[in-house]
Structure 1
Amino acid sequence: MLSMITDNLTTFLATWVVLTSVFALAYKWWRKPHRNFPPGPIGVPLLGVLPYLGDKPQETIRQWSEEKYGPVMSIRMGLEDVVVLNSYDAISQGYVRQANSFSGRPSSGIFQLADFLDWGMSFKQYDSDYKCQKTFFSKSLKDYGVGKLEVDKLINEEADIFNEYLKDKEGQLINFKDHFFALTANAVLKFLCGTRYDYDDPTAKALIRALQNE
């Protein structure tokens, strides 16, 4: 008798744990991240709306927006909730008028890793550290002449030199890809270091091979 009661109790507890877990997972799946989160389709567990996007996901999302959810909607891509802006006014509102609120990075995947490893500004969160680095970076570029006529003049001068070099090579077979790479490298060198290399210079060729990892 005691053994039967124990077995029944064990079965009841196991069933209760399973059902509770299922309900908890279902609640977590169906609930929105925030009470003011934009409306939108949730899809199926684990996959979200991925099975319903079809061959042209942008057209499918636009149709959902126009027929039911409006210009600001959300979709669940796998396990991630994504906000989608589907009109010019919505995009302008988000990225121009409220730019500070939409300038962050997704808190998952490669962005978390890149932020942890401090891989430059492109992957950093839009916080005080980012703003400080951006201010310093912008000021440094301006000090070097970015946005000023001097930079345009420098690039035009290098382009003229490159044009004359090509005229001297008329009728000869050249690797235009490497020469164009050299043109770009010379413009950057002149901008940063105040120097340049002739296009047939051995040092320039070695530098280009190093930059191309050859």
Structure 2
Amino acid sequence: MAESAQEILQISGLNAQTCLVFCVAFLLANVLLKRPKKLPPYPAGRVPVLGHLLALGRAPHLQLTVWRRQYGDVFTVRMGMEDVVVLNGYTAVKDALVDRSELFASRPQNYLLDTIVGCGKDIMSARWGTEVKQRRRFATLALKTLGMKIGTGSIEEKIKEEASYLRNKIVEYDGQAFDISNDVNVAVANIICSMVFGKRYDYGDETFRELSESVSNVIAAMQGQIVTVFPLLRFVPGVNRSSMKALKLNSKIKALLWDEIAHHRENLDRENPRDFIDFCLLQLEQQEKLDRFTEENVMHITHNIFFAGMETTTNTLLWSLLYMTLNPDVQKKVHEELDAVIGESLPALSHRPQLPYVNACLQETMRIRTLLPLNVPHATTQEVKVQGFDIPKGIKVFPNLYSVHMDPAYWPDPDRFDPERFLDAEGNVIDKPESFLPFSGGRRVCIGEKLARMELFLFFSTLLQSFTFKAPEDAPPANTDGVVGITWGPHPFKLCAIRR
């Protein structure tokens, strides 16, 4: 326990004097503030000021899932001075996110997330209400119009083109060990740029490189931030170093987006909108579908699309390739299915129904390594009863999606990578099994789910059609624990891509 406390202080830059001042302040607050009487129970391990932070450690979803066995599907953890209700398992999570979605559809206050992604003027962090509902509907319709769909007008051709660029880039490594993460990140970022800016960038373009790197660096800088739990610490020099770095990098991203909006405004073709920004600017002129919609909303929603669309899809692809290197028998079955169905032609979305094992591999990747183990935090829109407990209005709620995807009652031997979980007796893929919510659900379901699934299928099938992925010779066993931050990504790893 002492070592954990020391680690937190070192990470956050706290010195003894600062720590003492805040400990006294928070202890006084702890005495004055009373906990609601009917909240779900606290697990053991709560300490003054920090609450359960020490017990949760760097991978809180793991400890929360362990506590589920002792305290049940619903309990309360103390995050600093704040109570957070945790929902575990498919029944409790589905009840909140899907069956009674409206009651759990809001967002809690979160200083760092709010400041970075939109302060309520966006989609991701905005509190639930008429305005965010309108923004979600508008953004979804715009993305569908721009190609987030199957059939005429689909963005499929652009994804296939980008997959070919990625394949050609990997060929340059000539079978030598390399880190594929940057190349995958660039490819995924280019799909977002195609939809939002109406253009793709060469991999060496300076503006594009700065944008993609800044997004990744902001997400990395936001990980493990003590100011998220204790917002007042943002005013303490040293302690606020990482958060200030994230905000500085984020200002560069926003400046670039403002430049793009200005450029689009100067060249707007009202009869033929080219991309997402054009659609937004036309909506600004018409003011028909959205209340109090401004250019600031445009910037923040565009910002959301980059943050939500890049990191999640990139990490899912990285996990899928890592698991291919760890399971050569699975990779062999993927190769056999691709060869039998596609041959030498390029993979297309029309092939998807004929490639159940390829789809099952992607589903299993999303299950075993849930990209957002605790989802984006939710908040209740009114007082609600959950399994006999009274949950107050506005309280923060963690839906533990990791516990949903690793529940032995639905997924026997859950730590084993086994795509056949997603195949029925006839070998057809099971698209919507129980206890599977990789894109969340209900009112706050990911609006880019269809785009992400298109990207994952086309990138994965193109790469596996072209290469056999292997771990470098004499390399230590790959670490699949991953790094938990805003998303759950793999540790840096190298692989060899052998042309088939």
Per the normalisation by structure 1, the TM-score is: 0.60
Q: 1:94 & 1:148 partners in 2: Cα distance?
A: 30
Q: Which residue of 2 aligns with 1:66?
A: 69
Q: In the alignment, which residue of structure 2 is the partner of 1:103?
A: 105
- The aligned amino acid for 2:101 is A
Structure 2 portions without partners, runs of 5+: 1-26, 175-179, 215-500
Tell me, in whole angstroms, the C-alpha distance in 2 between the residues paired with 1:79 and 1:210. Answer: 38
Partner SS, residue 31 of structure 2: helix
Letter of the aligned partner of 1:74 in structure 2? T
| Structure 1 CA distance for aligned equivalents of residues 162 and 55 of structure 2 | 52
Look up the SS of the partner of 1:120 in the other structure.
Answer: coil
Q: Distance in 2 between matches of 1:75 and 1:170?
A: 48
Q: Secondary structure of 1:75's partner?
A: strand
What aligned pairs does 1:1-214 form with structure 2 within 5 A after superposition?
26=31, 28-29=33-34, 31-32=35-36, 35-41=37-43, 43-53=46-56, 61-62=64-65, 64-67=67-70, 69-111=71-113, 113=115, 117-118=119-120, 120-149=122-151, 150-160=154-164, 163=167, 183-184=187-188, 187-188=191-192, 190-191=194-195, 205-209=205-209, 211=211, 212=213
Contact 2:120 / 2:127 at 8 angstroms: preserved in 1?
A: no
Amino acid at match of 1:47: L
Aligned partners of 1:75 and 1:83 also within 8 Å = yes
Query: Deviations for 1:136-191, whole angstroms, at most 9, x for unmatched residues?
Result: 10111111121224212332134346656887x798xxxx8887676556645555
The 8 Å contact of residues 30 and 49 in structure 2, kept in 1 or not, is answered as no
Residue identity matched to 2:208: I
CA distance in 2 between counterparts of 1:71 and 1:24 reads: 29
Measure the CA separation in 1 of the matches of 2:92 and 2:128.
21
Cα distance between partner residues in 1 of 2:129 and 2:156: 33
Deviation at 1:133, TM superposition (A): 0.6
Do the aligned partners of 1:75 and 1:84 also contact (CA within 8 Å) in 2? yes
Structure 1 residue 48: Cα displacement: 2.3
Tell me, in whole angstroms, the C-alpha distance in 2 between the residues paired with 1:179 and 1:116: 28
Say which structure, 1 or 2, has more relative contact order (CA 8 Å, 6+ apart): 2
Q: 1:93 to 1:207 in 2, by over 3 A?
A: same
The amino acid across from 1:208 in the alignment is F
Q: Distance in 1 between matches of 2:55 and 2:168?
A: 57
Residue 78 (structure 1) shift: 1.5
Query: For residues 193 and 86 of structure 2, what CA distance do their matches in structure 1 show?
Result: 42
**Cα separation, 1, equivalents of 2:159 and 2:76:** 45
Instruction: Read off the aligned partner of 1:26 and give its amino acid letter.
Output: V
| Separation in 2, partners of 1:153, 1:164 | 17
Asked if 2 retains the 8 angstrom alpha-carbon contact of 1:154 and 1:191, the reply is no
Report percent identity of matched pairs.
Answer: 28
User: What is the CA distance between 1:208 and its match in structure 2?
Assistant: 3.4
Is the alpha carbon distance of 1:156 and 1:127 closer, same or farther for their aligned partners in structure 2, counting shifts above 3 Å? same
Per-residue Cα deviation, 1:20-49 (whole angstroms, up to 9, x for no partner): xx99963634x32xx542232483432323
Question: Mean Cα displacement is larger for which, 94-103 or 57-66?
Answer: 57-66
Label 1:97 to 1:193 Cα distance change in 2 as closer, same or farther (>3 A). same
> Is the partner of 2:155 in helix, strand or coil?
helix
On the 8 A contact 1:144/1:192 being kept in 2, the answer is no
- Aligned residues of 2:193 and 2:199 also touching (Cα < 8 A): yes
8 Å CA contact 1:41–1:76 kept in 2: the answer is no
**CA-based RMSD:** 4.3
The residue type paired with residue 126 of structure 2 is: K
Q: For 2:104 and 2:91, locate their aligned partners in 1 and report how far apart those are by CA, in whole Å.
A: 15
Q: Is the 8 A contact 1:75 1:82 kept in 2?
A: yes
Q: Distance in 2 between matches of 1:181 and 1:56?
A: 24
Quick one: which amino acid aligns to residue 85 of structure 2? V
Unaligned runs of 5+ in 1: 1-21
The answer to whether the 8 Å contact 2:119/2:125 transfers is: no
Provide the C-alpha distance between the structure 1 equivalents of 2:62 and 2:207, rounded to a whole number of angstroms: 47
Q: How many residues align?
A: 181
Give the direction of change, closer, same or farther, for the CA distance of 1:79–1:158 in structure 2 (3 Å limit): closer
Contact 1:155/1:187 (<8 A) preserved: yes
CA contact (8 A) 1:144 1:191 kept: yes
- Contact 1:178–1:208 (Cα < 8 Å) also in 2: no
SS at match of 2:75: strand
Output the CA distance in 2 between the equivalents of 1:83 and 1:197: 44
